[in-house]
Amino acid sequence: MALPSTEQVTEALTGVIDPELRRSIVELGMVRSIQISDAGRVDVTVSLTTPGCPIRSHFQNAVSQEVSRLEGVSDVGVAFDVLSDQEKGRLQEALGRPRLPQGALAQVKNVICVASGKGGVGKSTMTANLTAALAVEGNSTGALDCDVYGYSMPRMLGVNSRPEVSSERKILPLDAAGGIKVMSIGFFLEPNAAVVWRGPMLHKAIQQFLEDVDWGELDYLLLDLPPGTGDVSMTLAQLLPQAKILIVTTPQPAAQSVARRAADMAGKVDLELLGVIENMSGFTTPGGDRFTIFGEGGGQLLADELDIPLLGKVPLSQELRQQADEGVPLVLKDPDAPASQAIRDAARGLVAATPQELPVMQAAAPAAELATPISGTELPVLSQ
Ligand SMILES: Nc1ncnc2c1ncn2[C@@H]1O[C@H](COP(=O)(O)OP(=O)(O)OP(=O)(O)O)[C@@H](O)[C@H]1O
Ligand SMILES: [Mg+2]
């Protein structure tokens, strides 16, 4: 039987995707060598960005799988080495990132940004409660506060202490009720301290949270975004081409303008829109009368305009607000409350709309489209 050529093996290796960089190992220059023996054995050496790469076995399996499909291949051997500093430098430059990820998010199956066009619509409340609802459904979950100026995860998830650093020099997230892993800038600040960083520092902080935190294996990592569609979402899009966006809105039909802004952002950063949650969707009195305090229909309008599903309508609820202030999400405290039920439904919708395995076989858009360099100085609070 004919043996495959080096070109054919290289072509097959374009199907091996780095889960963090979302590009093939061929495009990333990570294929060090290919050797084809007369007996049909193919040996591939892959150069990793970091020696202790937690996703080595992913590369091992994916290379074997892709190469063994070729006709004439009897056996596949996979070996590893590490990119030289110079090679890493070239890769960083090509990708427009000051450094390469070290595998912190490699085992996170889904990264979901909870966003809105405007402030105060309940993004943080939804992030905390959805994370809890996903955990109740049996998923391993984490919540990352990307709202550096107005962080609220410590309060809403009831954890606040200085995180420890592991022997591998990774920051360990705190554990909240329900087994949720949490990270927030608030853990590193004196109480009530204001954060006054500008662009580059913000980028740096978010990057550290994504790359220097030991997230481990997670089914879902939810990111609580700051209000609006500014800098942070651009940073996230660049660092996380695999992230998806969940939009929170209130029921005013005027949400149309928000729809446009949110869609604009998603288009600009090239992230997939997952669905809409309508929050503050009517208030029902103990007597059963329903008042549509913030109007009606905005969530559906937004979902229709964006052509994505409306995952839930969460009512105005005093308990939901109280529990957010007390640090135990209502979904955990009272899973049967109407607001909890709506959020649990939305969580099930999220699960249905997202992959349950590491989506490692999908490549991202070509590198050139994402290469807007980001810069910054070491964050003082996180650098010790
Ligand atoms: N369905 C609801 N019923 C009652 N109160 C709610 C509801 N959703 C959110 N809240 C309350 O509204 C306030 C704003 O919510 P939250 O902080 O979650 O909004 P946000 O979109 O994260 O705001 P920001 O844009 O400032 O980050 C909080 O006090 C929260 O407890
Ligand atoms: Mg918030």
Could you write out the DSSP letters of every residue in 330-342? HHHH-TTSHHHHH
Give the residue, by CA position, lying nearest to ligand 1 atom 28.
Answer: 321
Task: Please report how the helices 231-239 and 255-269 are oriented relative to each other, as an axis angle in degrees rounded to 10.
Answer: 40
Most confident among 116-130, 198-212, 230-244 (mean pLDDT): 116-130
Kindly indicate the confidence band of residue 288, based on its pLDDT and cuts at 50, 70 and 90: confident
End-to-end CA distance of the chain: 59
pLDDT in tens, 40-85: 999 999 998 877 666 788 899 999 999 999 999 999 999 999 999 8
* Index of the ligand 1 atom closest to the CA of residue 120: 23
pLDDT of 23 reads 85
Kindly indicate the confidence band of residue 149, based on its pLDDT and cuts at 50, 70 and 90: confident
Q: How much of the chain, in percent, has pLDDT values that exceed 70?
A: 85
Strands 272-279 and 31-36 come out as unpaired
Mean pLDDT, the chain, as a whole number? 85
pLDDT of 318 reads 95
Does residue 156 carry a pLDDT above 50? Answer: yes
Q: Which residue has the higher pLDDT, 100 or 132?
A: 132
Q: Which residue has the higher pLDDT, 287 or 180?
A: 180
Q: Is 250:298 a contact under the CB 8 Å cutoff? A: yes
pLDDT of 230 reads 67
* Index of the ligand 1 atom closest to the CA of residue 324: 31
Ligand located closest to 319 CA:
1
Asked whether 118 lines ligand 1 (CB < 6 A), one says no
28 Cβ neighbours under 8 A, 6+ residues apart? 18, 21, 91
Does residue 305 carry a pLDDT above 60? Answer: yes
Q: Give the integer Cα–Cα distance in Å for 244 and 132.
A: 19
Kindly indicate the confidence band of residue 379, based on its pLDDT and cuts at 50, 70 and 90: very low
Q: Is 277:145 a contact under the CB 8 Å cutoff? A: no
Q: Give the integer Cα–Cα distance in Å for 253 and 255.
A: 5
Asked whether 119 lines ligand 1 (CB < 6 A), one says yes
Which domains occur in the chain, in start order?
6-101 (3.30.300.130), 108-353 (3.40.50.300)
pLDDT in tens, 183-230: 998 898 877 666 666 667 777 888 888 888 989 889 999 999 988 766
pLDDT of 256 reads 62
* Index of the ligand 1 atom closest to the CA of residue 118: 25
pLDDT of 93 reads 87
Asked whether 152 lines ligand 1 (CB < 6 A), one says yes
Give the residue, by CA position, lying nearest to ligand 1 atom 29.
Answer: 321
List the beta strands (DSSP E) in 59-200. Answer: 75-82, 108-115, 141-145, 174-176, 180-183
pLDDT of 193 reads 66
Asked whether 222 lines ligand 1 (CB < 6 A), one says no
Give the neighbor-by-neighbor strand order of the sheet with 180-183: 174-176, 180-183, 141-145, 218-224, 108-115, 244-249, 272-279, 310-314
Asked whether 147 lines ligand 1 (CB < 6 A), one says yes
Tokens for 62, please give them: 């994916």
Tokens for 200, please give them: 């580059």
**pTM as predicted:** 0.80
pLDDT in tens, 34-46: 999 999 999 999 9
Does residue 98 carry a pLDDT above 80? Answer: no
| Alpha-helix runs per DSSP H in 40-114 | 56-68, 85-95
Distance 153 CA to ligand 2 centre (A): 8
Asked whether 279 lines ligand 1 (CB < 6 A), one says yes
Does residue 170 carry a pLDDT above 80? Answer: yes
Q: How much of the chain, in percent, has pLDDT values that exceed 90?
A: 49
Which region holds residue 7: left if phi is over 0, alpha if psi is between -120 and 50, else beta? alpha
Asked whether 229 lines ligand 1 (CB < 6 A), one says no
Distance 116 CA to ligand 2 centre (A): 10
pLDDT of 357 reads 67
* Index of the ligand 1 atom closest to the CA of residue 248: 21
pLDDT of 100 reads 75
Q: Which residue has the higher pLDDT, 145 or 255?
A: 145
Reported residue count of the chain is 384
Distance 279 CA to ligand 1 centre (A): 9
Asked whether 343 lines ligand 1 (CB < 6 A), one says no
